[in-house]
Amino acid sequence: MDLPTHGRYGYRAITGRPDYDWPGGKRLAVYLGLNLEHFAFGAGLGAKLAPSLGEPDVLNYAWRDYGNRVGVWRLLEMFDALALPAGVLVNSEIYGYCPEVVAAFRARGDEIIAHGRTNAERQGAYDEAGEKALIDEATAVLTAAEGKAPAGWLGPWISESAVTPDLLQEAGYTYVLDWCGDDQPIWLQTRGGRILAVPYPQEVNDIPAIPLHRMSPADFTDLVIDNFEEMLVQSAQQPLVMGIALHPYLVGQPYRLRHLRRALEHIAAARDGIWLTTPGAIADYIIRNDLAV
């Protein structure tokens, strides 16, 4: 029996790959992936605090908007206090709604990563022409605002069509964050060449952990710390990547922020033994040194 396959990569066990180090001889690369998202009012998709009773869904829209108005600024203060870099995953609609938020991260020198137009839509729902237009529009907005094209892409809702990696490679992207099947960067084959898949977490991620699994703030913090400590041990065998996916409307809530601070303080205190970085720096290092399988 031949099962359908994506054809993007073949199987290779992590225990059977060439060994290498991250810069400075480090073995574990750690990055923060902070999602800056904007949503349509009265339509479209979005995470929910409570079941929707119909549109306009004021409760859930305003809950998400808290992240842009309040939560992101509290997270920014924490990142500054702990001297933590960030990979900032930006819906292009953010530039029209609250451009000062992106400007604050730009001023820190953080990496600005494309995250579609809005998380009120899924790019995989479009035909190829429509998806290309979505990618082109988001890319053009970020390029104009940042003075350079984004290198990385995370699809809204991690949504892909059968041709998404092809379209991203053809648009000039060097890496994508949608594929969560590994703890190392791997190459994806496309019709025009290849594009690097940098690991992006779906477990160490506040969206599934909090709205879906109903984790308490303390439990989510323990999850982050336990994952970090275990990957530190595992990284003696292979160089690994650990991402932490955050959304300001979730972890920017004061009672969750207090617990998240504990996790980030724990990681910051170990900075001498790890590579605190961004997804783009990871991709650059892999590509420059031809390290991925």
pLDDT at residue number 212: 87
Q: Residue 50 pLDDT more than 80?
A: no
Residues 6+ apart with CB under 8 A from 58: none
At 116-126, the pLDDT tens digits run: 999 999 999 99
pLDDT-derived band of residue 52, with 50, 70 and 90 as boundaries? Answer: confident
Rounded mean pLDDT of 47-68?
88
Beta pairing class for 193-197 and 186-190: antiparallel
Q: Which fold has domain 15-41+56-289?
A: TIM Barrel (3.20.20)
Rounded mean pLDDT of 141-168?
97
pLDDT at residue number 177: 98
pLDDT at residue number 46: 87
Helix residue spans in the chain (DSSP H):
58-66, 72-82, 94-97, 99-108, 128-146, 164-170, 206-207, 217-234, 248-251, 254-269, 279-289
Rounded mean pLDDT of 46-58?
83
Q: How far is residue 277's CA from residue 279's CA, in Å, rounded to a whole number?
A: 7
pLDDT-derived band of residue 48, with 50, 70 and 90 as boundaries? Answer: confident
Structure tokens of 30?
């750690």
At 220-257, the pLDDT tens digits run: 999 999 999 999 999 999 999 999 999 999 999 999 99
pLDDT at residue number 186: 98
Q: Residue 35 pLDDT more than 90?
A: yes
pLDDT at residue number 54: 82
179 class by beta-carbon count within 10 Å (0-12 exposed, 13-18 middle, 19+ buried): buried
Query: What is the average pLDDT value for the chain, to the nearest integer?
Result: 96
At 184-234, the pLDDT tens digits run: 999 999 999 999 999 999 999 999 999 889 999 999 999 999 999 999 999
Q: Could you tell me which residues are beta bridge partners of residue 196?
A: 175, 187
In the chain, where the domains are located: 15-41+56-289
